[in-house]
Structure 1
Amino acid sequence: MKILSERSLMMDLGSFYIPDKSKSSPMGDDAHFISKHHQTIGLADGVAGWAKQGIDGGEYARQLMDNCVTTLYAEDKEIVYPQMVLEEAYVNTNVEGSSTACIITLTDEYLNVINVGDSGFMLFRNGNMIYKSSIQQHFFNCPCQLGKSSRCDDPSIAEELILGVRAGDVVVVGTDGLFDNVFEREMEMVIRVLREEGCLEPQLLAKLLAELALENSLIRSGDSPYTIAALMEGKFRSGGKPDDITVIVARIVPPMDIL
Structure 2
Amino acid sequence: MLVNMKEILMGVADSNTAVPGFNVYGYEDAMMVIEVANKLNAPAILMSNKDAVLHMDVKCQAALYRAISENHNIPISIHLDHAGSYELCVKAIAAGFTSVMYDGSQLPIEENITRTKEVVRLAHSCGVSVEAEIGSVGYDDPSINAKAIYTNPQEAKIFAEETGVDALAVAVGTLHRMQKQTAEIQYELLEEIQSITSVPLVIHGSTGLADRDLTKLSTYHVGKVNIGTALRMAFGNTLRKEINNHKNEIDRIKLFEEPMRQVKEVVLNKYKLLGW
- For normalisation by structure 2, the TM-score amounts to 0.32
Greater fraction strand: 1
Task: Tell which has more relative contact order, 1 or 2 (C-alpha 8 A, sep 6+).
Answer: 1
Greater fraction helix: 2
